[in-house]
Amino acid sequence: MRITNNMISDRSLFNIQQSLNRIAKLNDKLSSGKEVQYPSDDAVIATRASNISSRLRELEQYKRNVDHVNNFVQSYDTTLQELSSVYQRIKELMVEGANGTNSVDERNAIATELKALKEHLVEIANTRIGDEYIFGGARSDLKPVDENGNIVTPMEADVKRKVNALGYSISYGVTVYDAFTLNNGKTAFSTIDDAIDALYQGDEKKLSEISLKEIGVLANSVMEQFANVGSTSRMVEMISSRIDDLQVFNTEYLSKEQDADLTKVLTDLSMQQSVLNAALKSASMAIQKTLVDFIG
């Protein structure tokens, strides 16, 4: 086959262009820090990297869900402890009020403190995280109790919330019905009202036989809910720890699959620069000069 000057020129230019393409790709790797940026670079690695990235986004959403539950669980923990203390104080006042030796002024003083505790219970029942009422159940946008101590959360909202993470279904939540109502339909607020009326009337029997028993049931109910919250808290901690481990593992895996070895890239880039310089020098000697080169 006859080799012409045009063939030599075309081949030299082709080799120079290929060298420039390799240098451009190495520069891309150096600036991005990634070995593979496009599926055309390596379809297998690009697919794996895409799947791992999707998994990491999924884990981030799980983490947000679990953190949201954890915020509620911590709030329930402190709020139920406070509620238990209030119920205990109410119980002590009822025991004191049921003592038949109290004077009218003493009974009135006890009734006044019970009124203050009722107002405090209303504040506890309307505890919020952000814009959500923690005792609101499925209607966390509604204030559970009005200023008079009437429960306004509808019965159909008396359900636990659920969040999914890593295949686990986390049920959580304490509603106003769980912590502030009795099986007979009465509430902690109406129990306090009855106790106040009994104090004004001097009805120690009603205090000791009805109101005192009802507040005891409410206190026990709070302790049961406190145990449930503790169980949920332990589950949330376990899932959160598992998510953290998976995030670390997948991040490291993605780095191994996708990140460029910068030392190797710099070495390859230096070599390609040398190759390009050699190709340019070779082309300058191989390509035949034309008349244009001598015009000047």
Contact 136, 209 (CB under 8 A): no
Write out pLDDT tens, residues 202-260.
888 888 888 889 999 999 999 999 899 999 999 999 999 999 999 999 888 877 777 66
State how far the Cα of 123 lies from the Cα of 147, in Å rounded to an integer: 9
Identify the three-state secondary structure at position 232: helix
CA distances in angstroms from 90 to 16, 58, 62, 216, 221, listed in the order given: 90, 48, 41, 10, 15
How high is the pLDDT of residue 4?
Answer: 64
Does the pLDDT of residue 35 top 70, yes or no? no
Nearest to 139 by CA among 147, 73, 131: 131
How high is the pLDDT of residue 214?
Answer: 93
State how far the Cα of 230 lies from the Cα of 19, in Å rounded to an integer: 65
Burial of 260 (0-12, 13-18, 19+ CB in 10 A): middle
Range in 122-126, 135-139, 149-153, 163-167 with the lowest mean pLDDT: 163-167
CA distances in angstroms from 67 to 71, 72, 270, listed in the order given: 6, 9, 48
The whole-number average pLDDT for the span 124-128 is 95
Write out pLDDT tens, residues 151-170.
999 999 888 888 888 888 88
Question: What is the signed CA dihedral for 28, 33, 39, 41, rounded to 10 degrees?
Answer: 60
pLDDT: which is higher, 114 or 295: 114
Structure tokens at 237: 């901690």
Does the pLDDT of residue 295 top 60, yes or no? no
Query: Phi and psi for 293 in degrees, rounded to 5?
Result: -65, -20
Q: How confident is the model at residue 190 (pLDDT cuts 50, 70, 90)?
A: very high
Question: For residue 105, how far is the Cα from the chain centroid?
Answer: 53
Contact 251, 105 (CB under 8 A): no
State how far the Cα of 239 lies from the Cα of 65, in Å rounded to an integer: 11
pLDDT: which is higher, 189 or 27: 189
Identify the residue whose tokens are 């820090």: 33
Mean pLDDT over the full length of the chain: 84
User: Looking at the domain 53-254, which fold is it?
Assistant: f41 fragment of flagellin, N-terminal domain (1.20.1330)
Does the pLDDT of residue 39 top 70, yes or no? no
Burial of 189 (0-12, 13-18, 19+ CB in 10 A): buried
Q: Which residues contact 265 (CB under 8 A, 6 or more apart)?
A: 26, 29, 30
Domain range list for the chain: 53-254
Identify the residue whose tokens are 């244009």: 292
